[in-house]
Every structure is written in structure tokens, then in C-alpha cells.
A and B are shown apart, each in its own frame.
Chain A
Amino acid sequence: MSSQVTEHAHWHTSPYPILVGFGAGFLLPWAFMFYFVYAQGLLAVIVLGLGVLMLLVGGVGWVGETVGIIDDEGWSPAAMLMFIGTEVMTLFAILVGYWVMRLQAPQWPPEGTPEILAPNLATLLLLCSSLSIGFARRKQMQGDAAGFANLTLISIAIWALFALMTIFGWGQLAGQGFAIGANAYATALYGLTGIHFAHIVFGLLIMLLALAPAYKGRLSPSYARSMTMYVHFVNVLGIWVLLQAYYW
């Protein structure tokens, strides 16, 4: 029926998904295991480096092939919405763990918990990124590529600062002897803020990959919209973590 078409057929290929797949799916798990299970620090660093390299080469190549070249008629935002749905379910499971712990505890926070200040300022700073990324999107819709890119860069800077503040906060707590295994509150606090931190890192990656195409004015509207959705989601998550971990 279609022999004429298939004989001259062109098979679409890309080397980047396989790089990302094995980098993230095989090497990063082994880096974790070398470090935490087998105490092989050097090997862990080598495998981690290789895995991250594959991820970066794959990610940059992937963006180069698609962003600004392929626009998927708005399917990406729908996909991002579903992805956020799965994130909500992941967080829900972890929150259930926290709620069980919290509601069964005879005293909360448990004995041995130092005075911990809620990171109100850091969370307020985080929320500013919702404004900056919102304005960025508006600039893109107005056709102002440079404005869009600059505001995306500001959002990246805000998130990077928030990530540093989180690490600094953890360091301070650990310095007071309140490390991960200290008590149930430590499990909850480090667990919830850690999960949020992982989302910040992933979001930074999404925004960084978009930066170069954004400055060239090539970023597709569907990518920009999905990216914006993710930033808002992680910011809402930040408020939720603040309320759950510090004010309950």
C-alpha cells in the first residue's frame, strides 16, 4: 500500500535520549550506591561526573534539536499539568508519612529540637520568582525576546539564591547538632525541605537549558508556558512546606 513512501522513508533519530536515559537511569543510581552503600567515594565521584556529563550533553543537545524548532501545538503544557499531578501524588505520599509521624507523636516538636526560625524571608524571596517568570512570559507574548530572557535570568538568580539559603540553613542546623537522624522532627524537616530543594534544582536545570534559546528569541511558547507552570508549582510547594514544617 505505502511501499513508495516507505522505500524512501526517513527514520527520525536522535542520540540524546539514550545519553540522558543511561546517564540518569544507570550511572546516577550507581554513584549513589558507590557512595552510600559501598563507601567508595572516589568511584562515586567518577561515576557521578560521567553521569552528569551525559545528562548535560544529552540535555543541551536535546534542547538544541527541539526548542525553537519544534512547537507541539500546546501539548507540552498539558503534559506538564499531568507531570505536576504526579508530583502532587509523590508529595502526598511523603506528607502522609509526615502526618502519621506528627499525629502519633506525644510531643511536637520532640525533645531535643532547638529553636528553629521559619524561613519567611527566603520563602518571600522565592515568591518573587513567580512574579518575574510571570512578567517574563508576558514579555514573550509581546514579542520581546530580550525582556523574556532577562526576566528568566532574574528568576534563575532568585532560585539559586534560595537554594544557597537552604543549604546554609541546613548547615546551621547541623552545626547545632540537629542532624538528619536527631529525632522525628529532623526527619520531617529535612525530608520536606529536601524534596523541595530537589524540585528547585530540577527547575533551575529547566530554566538554564532555556536561557540560550531565549536570548536568541527561539524559545517555543509551549516550552515557556510549561516552564512557567513548573516555577509556579514549586513556589506553591515552598509555601506549603513552610506552613507544614514550621507553622504546624
Chain B
Amino acid sequence: MGQPKTWKEWVFTLDHKIIGIFYLAASLVSFLVAGTSAALMRIELGSLGPTLTEDAGVYNLWLTMHGAVMILGFQIPALLGFFANWVVPIMIGAKDMAFPRVNALSVWLLWSGILLALCNLIVPDSFNGMWTGYPPYSETDFAGNTALYSLIIIVLGISSVFGAVNLACTVMFMRARGIGWYQLNMTVWCVFTANIMQLIFVPVLAASVLLLSLDKYLGFGFYDPGQGGDVLLYQNLFWFYSHPAVYVVLLPFLGISFDIIATFARNHIFNYKVAVWATLAFIPVSSDVWVHHAFVAGLPNWLRTMQTFTTLMISLPFGLLMLSMVMTLYKGSIEYRTPMHWIVGMFFMLIIGATTGIPNALSAIDYGISDSYVIMSHFHYVMAISGAMAIFGGIYYYFPKLTGRMYSEAMGKISAWLFFIGMNVVMGPLYFIGIEGMPRRYYDYQMFPQFESMHALATVGVAITTIGVLIMLYSWLHGMFRGEKATANPWQSQSLEFTHTDVIPGPGNFPTPPVMPEGWSPYSYDKTGAKGGSEARR
């Protein structure tokens, strides 16, 4: 079995799989912190007037922790940390990442960033400027410790950049003999593309928050009109990264979903090459979508019209990926194990999120719904919930390879459905009261008493989701210690991480460096073998 034996082998590890597990641990801790913040907010909003706190500043702290930690501490580390680290090198037949020490540095920088984020809960002047940190508010004393906010993002940004360079080099230089670019798993393509986007966009975010602290603490004036600066500059720089960040999260979870669907449908990826190029198309297309975040900030009409079209352009590669995903199911021999339940749920949420995104891109409509619950509900569907469902589906998918044991199918499926139903009960009602005018980020809504019942319903949804999450966590713990022993390839996948490794892959991943025969593909499921394979698993 491939697990280190001593504490030194764990703590000082340079192995990509153990580092991946550290990323996973960090992301799950972040999920619990950010999820608890969300639950507190929802309880607070469940009825009119103060419920848990009378201090709106405390509510702002929960809001800030929820947004920043969920994106920067949970989703990106889970997708570009855990999956990128644990899965990608094995999928390409590599023994490790290109730079193992840099890889270890990346994960410890991530943990430093998360510890800094947790410090925000204990410092006397917690930063409460939301995850966006807009000036001029964030440059005032009311916002609290802006330096902490800037430094968290800079530290996490450096971690991301090192991780992205490492992964890109790994995919470029360390593929096993016989594995060409068109023989890579979709997870590899999607993670690779997301990392290239990280390299392009993260530095801009880091620079934007650096200037924020330079302004506030050293007296610079980049965002201060009084000193010749421009406050809207921050909004543009921030969203230049932060809208593509949606795709940095989206692509890897689509990649994992593709692999899970192919395995459980026992089918090749439909239109594989088109899907690959659609994935790559996200890089140029996503570089010109940020301006729609400034539609209501006073843009000239010609620019708003143009940016409506450039924003809608993202639908093209996205649509091609969705087509490939659906058609991969077509004529497949589909088996609904727990990972598939999570992924099917993810697909539903993603489509809701995508279709509710189209009106947001239309500047005329955006004027009416900007800063309302419509936007909040949309991005939770398209990125937060669907992303989380794909991540949890992926964890279940790789659970046997991580622990050497199987989880309980019943508990896995129940948790998936409770999560799915719960989050729909949260976000569905909120979308509709958003259309009727419920604004985002409000601590209370005394001026909108008619929305109280919908808020109460959404709070019930959080309770259902929480039960689902608790069952999921219990199923992992139970499986880890009491689960049935797993086999090396419990899903009969054709991908290298299942076909060529031990139950838990050890150091170096493979007993001998794999050399793949001509025409090999991680999706080589033949039609006649599909049913046989499926029956064999039963």
C-alpha cells in the first residue's frame, strides 16, 4: 500500500499525491469555515430583524469569510491543488510533478494563506470589505485590516502561480511515451488550460490588491481621485482576474465530470478534439468578459453594447463542452454509482446557472438586476454549487485510490440528493425574490417584509444541505476505517490512474514507467465490451 509510514515522510513530503492530500485537507477545512459562515448568514436572514447578531459588522465578517474562503480556500485549492496534484501526473504516466520542491512550497504557501484568513476571525480589526475589497471603502478604517486581505490574496496568488508553472511543465515535459496531446484525459486538458489562465490573470489580481495596501498604508494614490488616481481602476483590475476565475474553477470541474461520465457511461468523449479546442478557447474569450461587471458604473453605450457581445461569446465554447458531455452519455452503458449522482446533479445546477447567466450579460437587463439576489443566485448555481458537487463527486470517484477502501453507496447517494435538493431550496426562491428587487449583501430587509417567507424557505434549504454534508463527511470517515477493501480499478476505468497503479499508488506511482501502445486512449471503451464490463462490475 502506498502511504508514508513516518511523520517526517508526511510533513516533509515531496510526493505529489501526499501534497494533493494536503491540498484536499486545506480545501475541506476551508469548506467547513466558509460553509459555517454561510449557514450563520442564512439563519440571520431567516426572519426579519436581528436573529443571531445585532451587529451588521459581524454579518459583514461572515459574508467576507464565506466568499473569499469558499473561492480561494475551497474551490481553487480543491480543483487546482488536489485534483491537479493527485490525478494529473498519474493520468499522464509521470512519476511526479516537474518540480517536487516547488510543489511542496505551493501547498505550504496555501496553508499560510488559509492561516492568515483564519486570523481574520481573531484580529481586533477584522477585514469586512467582502471578497471584492472595493475601494474607497476598503481604504478607510471602517473596513478593518485591509493589509490582511491584500496579503492573503498575494500569498495565495504566489502559491497559485508556482503551482500553475509546475503543472504546465509537468504536462508539457513528463508525459509517458506513447501519450500524445490528443490522448490526454479531459481532466488534464481542463486543469492545464485553467492553469494557463491562472498564469495570465492571477498576477493582475495580486497587483490590484497590492496597490490597495500601498494606497492605504504607504500613502500612494492609485485609487484615490484626490491624488490623481481612479477608484474604478480597481474594479477593472479586480474583475479582469475574478471573472475568468469562474472559468478557472469551471474548467477543472468539467474535466473531472467528463472523466466520471466517460467511466460510468463506458463511452469515449463525444467530439473529443472539439472539446479540447473549446477548452482552450476559454483562454482568449475569457480575457474580454470582465467589463460587464462595470455595466452600471457609467460606461459609454458603445462599450456596453460591445461588451454584451464579448461576454456572450463565452457561450460558444461552453455550449460545445456541454454538447460533448451530454453526447458522451448517448448510447453509453450508464451505471449510476455515487460519483454519477453527484455529477448528474452538477449538470442540472450548471445548466440552470448558465441559462440564468445570459440575461446578466445583456447590459439593458443587467441595469435592473445588478446587485440583486438574481446575480447571487446565478453565480451560486453556475460556479459554487455545481463546482462543489463536481468536487465531491470527484472525491467519491477517487476515494478507493486515496484510502484503499470503498465508501457506502447508500450514504453517498443520499448525501448527493440532500445536497442537491437543499441547495435548490436555498437558491431557487432567492432567484425569484431577486427578480422582485431583493438586494445583495444586506444584513436585514425591513423594507422588504414580503420576502420573509422565501428567506425562511431558503434557510430550511441550508438545514437540508447541512444534513447532506454531514452524511457525506460521515460516509468518508466510515469508509476510510470500516469500508470494504477496494480493488485497484473498482470502476473498470481505462484511465492510467486505475489501470496501471496499485490500489493506493506508492512513490513513483508506477512499478515501471508506462509506455502506451499506439492508438491508446483513456476512453477506449468498445461498444461490445460496454455491457460486458458493466455486467462484470455487478
Contact = CB atoms under 8 A, between A and B. Distances in A.
Question: Do A and B belong to a common assembly?
Answer: yes
Interface of A: 1-6, 9-18, 20-22, 24-26, 29, 32-33, 36-37, 62, 65-66, 72-73, 75, 78-79, 82-83, 85-87, 89-94, 96-97, 100-101, 104-105, 110, 179-181, 183-184, 187, 190-191
A53 B533 CA distance: 58
Contact of A93 (B98, B107, B208): B208
B9 interface: yes
3 A-B pairs with least C-beta separation: A21-B108, A184-B228, A25-B112
Contact of A100 (B96, B166, B233, B500): B233
Interface string B1-37: 1101000110111110010000000000000000000
B228 A104 contact: yes
A180 B218 contact: yes
A105 B99 CA distance: 46
Contact of A32 (B151, B221, B233): B151
Interface of B: 1-2, 4, 8-9, 11-15, 18, 96, 98-102, 104-105, 107-109, 111-113, 115-116, 125, 145, 147-148, 151-152, 154-155, 158-159, 161, 164-166, 168-169, 172-173, 199-204, 206-208, 211, 213-214, 217-222, 227-230, 233, 236-237, 240, 488, 500-502, 505-508, 510-511
A110 B226 CA distance: 13
Contacts of B200: 85-86, 89
Contacts of A190: 220
A15 B13 CA distance: 8
A32 B155 CA distance: 13
Nearest to B200: A89
A87 B157 CA distance: 12
A25 B2 contact: no
A181 B216 CA distance: 11
A181 B229 CA distance: 12
Given A18-B108, A37-B147, A82-B168, A6 B228 contact: no
Contacts of B148: 29, 33, 37
Contact of B105 (A17, A29, A89): A17
B211 A94 contact: yes
Contacts of A104: 228, 230
B76 to A, nearest CB: 16
B169 A78 contact: yes
Contacts of B154: 29
Nearest to B98: A75
A94 B98 contact: no
Contacts of A89: 199-201, 203-204, 207
A58 to B, nearest CB: 9
B267 to A, nearest CB: 26
A101 B229 contact: yes
Given A3-B502, A14-B12, A93 B203 contact: yes
